[in-house]
Every structure is written in C-alpha cells, then in structure tokens.
Amino acid sequence: MTAIDEFLSMLAAERGAAANTLSAYRRDLEGAEAAIGDLAAADGTALARLGQAWSELAPSTAARKSSALRQFYGFLVDEGLREDDPGSALPRPAPRRPLPKVLTHAEVEALFGRAEDEASGDRPAAIRLLALLELLYGSGLRATELVSLPLSAVPRDAPLLTVTGKGGQARMVPVGGRARTALSRWLAVRPAGGRHVFPSTAKSGHLSRVRLFQLVKELALRAGIAPERVSPHVLRHAFATHLLEGGADLRVLQTLLGHADIATTQIYTHVDSARLVALVNERHPLARGGARA
C-alpha cells in the first residue's frame, strides 16, 4: 500500500470522508506526484516547484491542492513515516471566494408564482416541480441531498427532514408549512415503488442532479427570468441570504446548511454587506445627483 493509499484510508476511517472526497484527494495527490516525483520522499525544494506547475490554475484550485498536500505530510509525520514536514514550502495562493449569485425577492416570487400556477391542476410533473422548488428554497437543501432523499427521511407528523449531507453527516432540516403541503401533494401522486421521495427509472433509482438543474432552469425561462441566474444551488444561496436578512443567527444558519466550518457560512455576511452597499448607491440622494453640502 502506498503512502497515498494509507492517507486516504485514514480519511475514510477517521474522518468518514465520502467517496467523492477521497477521489478528489487522490487526484490532487497523484497529480502532484506526477509533477515532482514520489511525494513521500519529496523535499521542500521539490514542493516549491509546484508553484510553477500550478501557475495556470485558479487560486482556489491551487489552494485546495496545497491543502491536500499539507494534510498528507501532517499524516506522514504523525504516523512516523517521515521525521520532517516539508509542507511549509508549498505555495500559499490566496483564494478569493466569489460571492454567490442570489435571487431577489421579486424573482423568487415570480418563480414560485409560475410553479404554483402550473401545479394548480393534477399533473404529477408540475406538482413534483413545486415540491422540489419548495425544498430547495424553503429548506436550503443541496441538489444531491434533495434528489437522493429517501422516503424514510420524511416523518408523518414532525416538521423536520433527516438529511444526509457531505461526508455522510446527518442533520435535521425544518420544513415550513408551504413545503409540507407541496410535499404531501407530491406523495399523494408519486408513482408507487422505489425508496426515494423523487424516484426515477435511472440506475440510481432517483431523479438525477442533471435533470433537477434542467427542470429549474426551464421553469426560470417560463417565469421570465434568465436561466443562467437560476440553479438549485442559487436557490440554496437565496434561502441562506434571505434568512440572514430576516435576522437569522449565523450559527443557526450554519446548522441549517450543514456547513462543517462557520467560515463557509460567513460568505453570506459578505453577500448581505454587498446588498447594503448596492442599496446605498442606488437609493442615497447623493448617488442620484442630489443636493451637495
């Protein structure tokens, strides 16, 4: 077993890392090894060369790769597989996390207005779309969490869903009255069989993420909103931002979104600040060429 394999085994066993996470770590580590040779034996000089190898990458991508390598060398030292930690020689790009796209309240209303009109009849596809939309914006679910939601996660009475998020971490997510109503309507017309709330004949047994993205963008187009402005993740961002605007506590928001690190949730404070700056620039009298002192 190689040092990389041992490191990945540790991530799986001790941190409960998901398969996708392990694959991402493997790609980053094996890519670095292809660039500079055996990682387990590499010194600081070799690691410093990665800066050139990563020069064309986005800062966020290079920062992720650098983080994977630092963890790898920390593991080697902890396990006694090497005495020194050369991780300090790794490039330290400063990633700039872009502010997430956020829908306005008017756009959300237009999107829901169209979905509700289409679901006013008895067409299962329209009712399903409304339920999907309500859970994306009303509960802030990730696309993968939503499409893979098992029937067992939907309780009969309690207004909560049990969701399995990144890294296999389970959390309780509140479901508002509107979402519960939409979900109940969908379950009443849902095709029999299968163990998922939103079943499919696909190999996975549930609606695919790709199809969910298509459905949301198609709805946006019908609602008169540019499709590139809307996606399941944008609706999750809108859920978080609009809750923060309404006075939600950042720690509560972290729990609702399933973020392991509060730093991830803090991006929404920047979104809110950006909104306030835009509001001042748009509405302040001086911004409109008003009177000067």
Domain locations in the chain?
3-89, 105-229
Mean pLDDT of the chain: 84
Assess whether 236 carries a catalytic annotation. yes
Assess whether 166 carries a catalytic annotation. yes
- pLDDT tens digits, 101-153: 678 889 999 999 999 999 998 999 999 999 999 999 988 888 888 999 998 88
On whether the CB atoms of residues 88 and 23 are closer than 8 A, the answer is: no
Percentage of the chain surpassing pLDDT 90? 43
Assess whether 203 carries a catalytic annotation. no
Assess whether 268 carries a catalytic annotation. yes
pLDDT at 157 over 50: yes
On whether the CB atoms of residues 19 and 28 are closer than 8 A, the answer is: no
Confidence of residue 215 (pLDDT cuts 50, 70, 90): very high
Which of 166, 171, 222, 275 is an active site residue? Answer: 166
Query: pTM value?
Result: 0.58
**Homologous superfamily of domain range 3-89:** Tyrosine recombinase, N-terminal domain (1.10.150.130)
Q: What class is the 105-229 domain?
A: mainly alpha
Give the DSSP per-residue string, 46-84.
HHHTHHHHTTTS-HHHHHHHHHHHHHHHHHHHHTTS-S-
Which of 65, 142, 196, 206 is an active site residue? Answer: 142
Assess whether 142 carries a catalytic annotation. yes
- pLDDT tens digits, 59-106: 878 888 998 999 999 999 999 999 999 988 888 776 555 555 678 889
